[in-house]
Structure 1
Amino acid sequence: MSIRGTWLCSWMLLGSLGCAALRTPPEETAPPVAPEVVRADLHVHVTMRAALGPLFQGEPGEGVLAGSHAERFVNQVDAAALRRAGVRLILATVWPPPATRPGRGALGEALHQLAELESFTRRNPDFVLAHGAAEARRKLADGQLVLIPAVEGGEGIRRVEDVDLLYAAGARSITLVHFFDNPLADAADDQFGAAVGGLANGRDGGLTPLGAQAVRRMLQLGILIDVAHASDRTIEEVLAIAGPAGAPLLYSHTGAGWAATRCLSTPLAQRIAAGGGLIGIGLFRSPFQEVPPSERWEGFQPGTCDDDVAHWLHYARQVGPEAVLLGSDFSSAILRARPGGACPQGLRHTGDLPTLFAALEAHGLSRHTLDNSGERLLRLLETVEGRADPSVLPSARKLPVPRDDLFLERVAPLPRNQ
């Protein structure tokens, strides 16, 4: 990330900081689902406090939850609430912030965040890690909340071997880019709106030569490739590599692409779904886009979770309901739905998911489609793992993972829970 990008990110985070927190469990807004149901969430920042330090308050298990939709820097994830909503399979996304810590570069920060995720599960028995579909199935059968480690942003990948290091550290899904262009690929422009886009936008392109090599290495290792935040050309070029290899893609969190370039266009959504991929609906309220009148219903309230329902229904119509599931982006510093519409309390935290799911059912999405989302994610993981090259996996699994930046002196490898 450039100095300009780092400054912009820091300014936006500080400008939207919330400071209040509830220390009471979320109220039950709907009857719990059956215990055998496994719904999935494609994008949750379970350990955001590890990334943002004193800016972020609380983590799951501490009884600290955002008290309103406006509290962006307060934990939004609660284990009991996830169980009531049936969400038991999660891509637990770590976000390596700009590499500003002494002695730790972008790759070192990503490895550190993956280690922090493992540390979180060791001190919080409500959650367990799984590093593949088979392991996830076993732990789900035991009734556990299962986290699949994911990394948002490939800024730390400066050579193909770095993909192996991330795999050895536990990553099983990698988002190629985040808000800014990086050594792998071009990010979508205007993700903060056109007014800020002039400061943040970079090149107009797709994959770099290194990016193409990294994508092929991810396929060899059975790593799920997430094209959220990527430019259209980047997505097209990843599809051109992954499609012939029979590997489906993930777009982990989006809203319907009516006006904002951050969001996924219908043609690309259809291509991802046609290849067996999945599209996650992010629960972010964008000030840069509005649901068009043709997508609204009587009593529709903009700025509420009605927007999120409309996004979900839009993609379900365009690509089929089976390709669309939750990609909440909870515990990210985003605007979320305010109270009103189908969600009287707004979307404050995972305790409000049953209300959202009930609204989706009320608008025609079947209970089976919602309840089956975990199985669809497991099948996706199995397909990607099945395309891996068995000859490269043993060496990648045994690779020592340094504690700090790759270019500094290596110290004792991190403990790995694999």
Structure 2
Amino acid sequence: MLLGSLGCAVLRTPLEETPSAVTPEVLRADLHVHVTMRAALGPLFQGEPGDGVLAGSHAAFLVNQVDAAALRRAGVRLILATVWPPPATRPGRSALGEALHQLTELEAFAQRNPDFVLAHSPAEARRELVDGQLVLIPAVEGGEGIRRVEDVDLLYAAGARSITLVHFFDNPLADAADDQFGPVVGGLTNGRDGGLTPLGVDAVRRMIQLGILIDVAHASDRTIEEVLALAGPAGVPLLYSHTGAGWAGTRCLSTPLAQRIGASGGLIGIGLFRSPFQQVPLEERWEGYQQGTCDDDVAHWLHYARQVGPEAVMLGSDFSSVILRARPGGACARGLRHTGDLPALFSALEAHGLTRDHLDGSGERLLRVLEAVERRADPSVLQSARKLSVPRDDLFLDGAERRPPGQ
């Protein structure tokens, strides 16, 4: 995430004409959306879905970018709703406490916003989708709060059904990808050159036992390889929720690892972010290509579809994350400001050869992956985790001093 100024355009309501909605049978998914970023960043971030505040510019990256009506028009009705726990800087709250608090905030958002509903299993998601709801599957970006394997149980009990092992920096579970902020800053922040820690191995195994979808976005190559070595024999597909092609920098998913994730039945999400460290090479461009526009996002999507297969690739927008978006031009006349601009992106993908079946069926493919992960869960471990009482206050202690809930 790149923090920036608040001097950006904000729309109270979308001003331009909106495109025609897709048919109700279309079920598209987004693998990475921050619907509750205001809860995470407080006064720095403006708006949330449903309150009428919407980014009015591709540069408005501290403003809500998610609108329920626009999601419906684009056919995106199944979402991994990702909570981003900021560093544990709030008095009395540890990193685990922050993650639990953000999951509670996600619950509260769904309760006050009738357009959205939380689902904690693929069966529950299917029922809500039949009723026409926009369905959110709770996810946590970053396992910094996991200091013992029992913490995975607590996150499951709090609702998390997908967990990203690492975010920008190495944590107790694993090595993060280096140079995520470019070579200059990356040289100051790079940590160990490694993979999973012993705790990380145990945490991954526990996620498999609980039926939690493991997200390896932001992880180092070695970390991804070691997670694949654990998940593969267990028959568990993995997720890489948001990325661009690995043409520059280690933040992106390399083709060999993408192919292994796809071969396992896993999914790769294409992030809609603009980065100076992620350039599209000349051979991937077409006549009339406009760099810095959504043509970049189309090129990344097409690259993975060719290398891995289109069935493994879908949207992982990272909307309402604090990042730059595609500027106006190319296939998207208004740029990528918010979810209202998704139809232009989908139309561009069709124009470049992706079929409607692959685009429209992404939600069903995500449901099948969730079902595959759920089938590998251990009933006894699940039963134990479901009995946990999740703390609802801010008084969390780190390490050995923290007692299990109820003690």
TM-score where L is the length of structure 1: 0.94
Q: Is 1:363 matched with 2:313?
A: no
Q: Is 1:164 matched with 2:153?
A: yes
Match of 2:248 in 1: 259
Could you tell me which of 155, 165, 171 is aligned with 1:182?
171
Q: Which deviates the most, 353-362 or 194-203?
A: 194-203
Could you tell me which of 114, 133, 142 is aligned with 2:103?
114
Q: Aligned to 1:174, what secondary structure does the other structure show?
A: strand
Question: How far apart, CA to CA, are the structure 1 residues paired with 2:170 and 2:6?
Answer: 25
Match of 1:209 in 2: 198
Q: Does the aligned pair in 2 maintain the 1:29–1:355 contact within 8 Å?
A: no
Match of 1:3 in 2: none
Q: Does the aligned pair in 2 maintain the 1:18–1:70 contact within 8 Å?
A: no
In the TM superposition, residue 397 of structure 1 has moved relative to its aligned partner by 1.1
Could you tell me which of 63, 66, 69 is aligned with 2:55?
66
Could you tell me which of 182, 188, 194 is aligned with 2:183?
194
Match of 1:269 in 2: 258
Q: Does the aligned pair in 1 maintain the 2:140–2:163 contact within 8 Å?
A: yes
Letter in 2 for 1:234: T
Letter in 2 for 1:194: P
Question: How far apart, CA to CA, are the structure 1 residues paired with 2:63 and 2:276?
Answer: 21
Match of 2:25 in 1: 36
Could you tell me which of 360, 369, 374 is aligned with 1:380?
369
Q: Is 1:393 matched with 2:379?
A: no
In the TM superposition, residue 31 of structure 1 has moved relative to its aligned partner by 2.1
Question: How far apart, CA to CA, are the structure 2 residues paired with 1:171 and 1:412?
Answer: 17
Task: Give the 5 Å matches for 1:235-314.
Answer: 235-314=224-303
Q: Does the aligned pair in 1 maintain the 2:92–2:396 contact within 8 Å?
A: no
Q: Aligned to 1:171, what secondary structure does the other structure show?
A: coil
Letter in 1 for 2:354: L
Q: Which deviates the most, 140-149 or 20-29?
A: 20-29
Q: What residue ranges of structure 2 are gaps of 5+ in the alignment?
A: none
Give per-residue Cα distances to partners, 1:221-272, cap 9 Å, x unaligned: 0000000000000000000000000000000000011012100000000000
In the TM superposition, residue 210 of structure 1 has moved relative to its aligned partner by 0.1
Question: How far apart, CA to CA, are the structure 2 residues paired with 1:160 and 1:344?
Answer: 48
Q: Quickly say closer, same or farther: Cα 1:102–1:310, change in 2 above 3 A.
A: same
In the TM superposition, residue 30 of structure 1 has moved relative to its aligned partner by 3.0
Q: Quickly say closer, same or farther: Cα 1:107–1:241, change in 2 above 3 A.
A: same
RMSD: 1.5
Q: Does the aligned pair in 2 maintain the 1:109–1:405 contact within 8 Å?
A: no
Q: Does the aligned pair in 2 maintain the 1:51–1:113 contact within 8 Å?
A: yes
In the TM superposition, residue 410 of structure 1 has moved relative to its aligned partner by 8.0
Q: Quickly say closer, same or farther: Cα 1:149–1:26, change in 2 above 3 A.
A: farther
In the TM superposition, residue 281 of structure 1 has moved relative to its aligned partner by 0.1
Give per-residue Cα distances to partners, 1:100-122, cap 9 Å, x unaligned: 00000100000000000000001
Q: Aligned to 1:391, what secondary structure does the other structure show?
A: helix
Q: Aligned to 2:39, what secondary structure does the other structure show?
A: helix
Q: Is 1:140 matched with 2:129?
A: yes
Q: Quickly say closer, same or farther: Cα 1:179–1:127, change in 2 above 3 A.
A: same
Question: How far apart, CA to CA, are the structure 1 residues paired with 2:365 and 2:17?
Answer: 27
Letter in 2 for 1:258: W
Q: Does the aligned pair in 2 maintain the 1:29–1:354 contact within 8 Å?
A: no
Q: Percent identity?
A: 85
Letter in 2 for 1:363: H
Give per-residue Cα distances to partners, 1:71-91, cap 9 Å, x unaligned: 100000000000000000000
Question: How far apart, CA to CA, are the structure 1 residues paired with 2:199 and 2:15?
Answer: 45
Letter in 2 for 1:110: A
In the TM superposition, residue 16 of structure 1 has moved relative to its aligned partner by 4.5
